[in-house]
Amino acid sequence: MNILILGGGGVLGQKLALKLAANPTLKGQAITQVTLADVVDPPKIDAPFPVQTVTCDIADAASVAKCVTAQTDVIYLLAAIVSAHAEEDFDAGMNINLFGTYNVLERCRVLGIVPTVVFSSSIAIYGGEAQDPLGDHSYPNPQTSYGMQKAAGEMLINDYSRKGFIDGRAFRLPTVSVRPGKPNRAASSFMSSILREPLNGQDAICPVEADFLHYYISPRRCVENLVKGAELNAADIGQNRVMQMPGKTWSIAQVIEAMTAVAGTDPAKLIRWDPQPDIKRIVSGWRWDIHADKALRLGLKADDTFEDNIRYYLEDDKHTA
């Protein structure tokens, strides 16, 4: 089982590689190689199988051709320009999120290898006039270019699968929290930083009100779902390869309460409340009443409580901060 992780230098890409290293089989077969590809050379990880790291710009078809080879069995397509970044830099978002996705799928078609392709879509595809609740078959009505690019990517995954060019599966990821590392250019970045920074004894800014509701998953559970996602039988998924990844809805107040329950009362005191109109404009187009019927039926899971999300951060990531 030869696995390529595009976006292999990112938080999910790295955690996915570590998960595969800890349990080195996929789809019932031994993993023979993992390739971590990203725009900058990704950190290598320790694993019982060979790990290759390569630089790859998916916006460039020639670069993709070097990563996706006749030996590739499974592709995780996690590389993306995130929401606020794609909103500021329209070209970058189009080139990576839309044309990059096309380049990867097209390379698979040309090679004729029909790999399993796991595509990370996003709850940012929902929004606008579409009615709550939202789920697997809701109208994609993105309010950002990032959401549009992901929604178009879903359609490519479906059509390339229907045509037999790939064996695709696309999951609309909830917002991943607590995300380790530094704040990124996702508009949702604060949903991790208001927890992560205080847990590390640092100040954080909360740009929305305490009653702001959002749909979350922990990195640990997300990676478990990505592994499971590759292992699903195509026949069980059916004609439509796109589905919501399970998450749970919490208010800002609830995630802070969870932090306090796990880590005591000090961290929450480090949050400064400072409403920011630009962030609010983007995130208020997002939805929280989201249902993941198909994925739950297929065995993917949400976190049980947000206290778990806090604990996973402390166990898996705090030492890296």
The residue ranges that bind its own copies (CB under 8 A) are: 90, 94, 102, 109, 128-131, 137-143, 145, 148, 151-152, 155-156, 158-159, 162-163, 238-240
160 flagged as catalytic:
no
- State how far the Cα of 259 lies from the Cα of 252, in Å rounded to an integer: 11
Choose between 140 and 198: whose C-beta lies nearer to its own copies.
140
Per-residue burial over 96-120, b = 16 or more CB atoms within 10 Å of its CB, e = otherwise: bbbbbbbbbbbbbeebebbbbbbbb
Choose between 47 and 296: whose C-beta lies nearer to its own copies.
296
Closest distance of CB 95 from its own copies, Å: 11
Choose between 126 and 250: whose C-beta lies nearer to its own copies.
126
The beta strands (E) that lie in 233-313 are given as 242-244, 248-251, 271-273
Closest distance of CB 285 from its own copies, Å: 9
User: For residue 30, how many other CB atoms are within 10 A of its CB?
Assistant: 10
Pairing label, strands 74-77, 51-55? unpaired
Closest distance of CB 249 from its own copies, Å: 21
Choose between 50 and 128: whose C-beta lies nearer to its own copies.
128
Pairing label, strands 204-206, 74-77? unpaired
Choose between 139 and 273: whose C-beta lies nearer to its own copies.
139
Map residue 132 onto helix, strand or coil: coil
Q: Provide the total of helices (H) and of strands (E) in the chain, helices listed first.
A: 13, 14
Pairing label, strands 175-176, 248-251? unpaired
Contact 118, 74 (CB under 8 A): yes
Closest distance of CB 181 from its own copies, Å: 29
Contact 97, 85 (CB under 8 A): no
Closest distance of CB 266 from its own copies, Å: 42
Rg of the chain on CA atoms, in Å: 19
Q: Which position among 126, 146, 160, 216 bears the catalytic label?
A: 146
Catalytic positions are: 146
